[in-house]
Structure 1
Amino acid sequence: MLDRVLGAAAALSLVLGTAAAPSGPKAKVELTFQDPEIVESSGLVADGDLFVTVNDSGDSGRVFAVARTGRTVGVTSWADEPVDDESLAPAGPGEVWVGDTGDNSRARDSITVRRVPYGVGDREVTPATYQLVYPDRAHDAETLMANPRTGQLFVVSKDIFGGTTYAAPRRLSADHPNELKAVADGFTFATDGSFFPDGKHYVVRGYTNATVYSFPDHEPLASFPLPTQDQGEGISVGPDDQLYLSTEGQFTDVLRMRLPKDVAAAMKPPQPAAAVESEPTPQEQQQPVWPWLVGGGIAFVVGGGWLLLRRGQAS
């Protein structure tokens, strides 16, 4: 519920044109995009060595691979013109899912995801392409996530007063549209999301705040403010479990931040109760002592007989 309240507040501040975003926690600048062609970074994947980003509506079909210096080291492009690329998700080593999921007018019959390779050097490809359809109606969405353990895709709709999290089929078909399934209430006004490497948690962001959810039950664990950005639309959890945040605009920064301590604590599994040594019961306290006395007496008799025998032999 908290994530919905904060998300609605963020959306309202945008509608009213106010600068109500909180200052948020401290973050470090990881890199600054140096490529003048990166003007509306809307999705982000941090794989440890490279950062992959995509411009949203108005650009051709392409993704940028950016080094930690901020310099673009590779561009992958394809011929099909996207409607509105808004999101990225890891698709395995050297590949990303590109989510052509934007739909501001909420009028599209289907949305598209493409599996695109990336790396150092420019290339033109024909990516595997899959159509997704919602089970109810058209939605605007800027969040595409992939579970690192199963590869299953999830889409979170971008709605002002309560989004929805949808799951794609585990195996996508290129021959016919793949129907999404609503699995949980989603983040309000979501702009991006990312799974953690453990596959048991994911984070969804808005413009001013984010929420961590457990998986597979999709329960919100904790919400927290984000550092101030002009129009923060990208988030990726790196292999180091740190958050990387991007924003629209030319020559913008990618920020790096750690989860707040209380959020990290909420993600830890409950510790098993420590074993406590119990007090003896009254029955245990009143155990009969005669077995000990009998045993002791037998030992005394046997021991004494042995000594007498030894003395007789010695004499």
Structure 2
Amino acid sequence: MTCSPLILAQPHLLHRPAAADPALAGVRTLDELYNAIAPISAQMAMLPAADQGRTRRERQFFQHDRYYGIQRVTQQGGTALAVGAIVTAWRLAPDGPPPLVAALIEIAGIEIGSRYPHPRAATEQDPLRRWIIGHQVFAVLMQGLIMRTAALINPPAHHDPAADLAGLTRLFRASGAALRYTGQVHPRYYRDDIRPSMPARFSGLMAADHHHLLQRLRVAHPILLRHADSHPAALVELRQAWASAYADHTEVCARLVGSGTPSLLGTEHGQPAVESLEHYRRSRLSTIPEPN
């Protein structure tokens, strides 16, 4: 791992965003923001860490986190997410797409003078570091989506469902951008260096945040059904954004491993990874209803 661990809370702790820290008011650049959260980051590192889990699935989550440099804490979900979003935005900024950096800053709930200023010059990125940072960014985006979905399920006072649907759409679009960024490595490097570095039978299905997001979306399905009547255009855009993220994932997979190669989780002669992604796309998109 070529950067310090990213501290995030266990996804079931994500219900409400953290209150804005007055100490962060007035920051003008992403570098200033990153430096300003240093004391909070230190506090997050001192929180109780999650263990390896008791069930097979929990141990798989732990294994996935360990490979991608994610350290889980068992308290302060909203604060850990806000800090993690700022940290990943700062790591991504030198060579990441500005709208993707902006999406991370939005998750943190911080206003800065410009959406994504960063005086640091972009340097040549180590492909494995890009791979790790890209997956850390994706984990933060999944947590942002979990938080947005929680607001639909248990709306706060003065709730605006249109704003939450639009926020979900922006974050799904950002997820596609994160997948494209992560996959910008040479297929030979992926085959010879990145893929062998992964544990046997490793898979994105072991990502705790993505798994929990799917659970939250299933809970939110009856609410989304109501919004299909009141906000049909927003539901169409949301479905399109999620479908587009799956298309981005499929494109990256096909470029790096080919259209006929099974996933790491599969057997040598198992279903090709791109076909598995298409199966997941069809089944999971049904969570978001199509307006009549």
Range into which the TM-score falls when normalised by the shorter chain = under 0.3
Return the structure number with greater strand share.
1
TM normalised by structure 2 equals 0.23
Return the structure number with greater helix share.
2
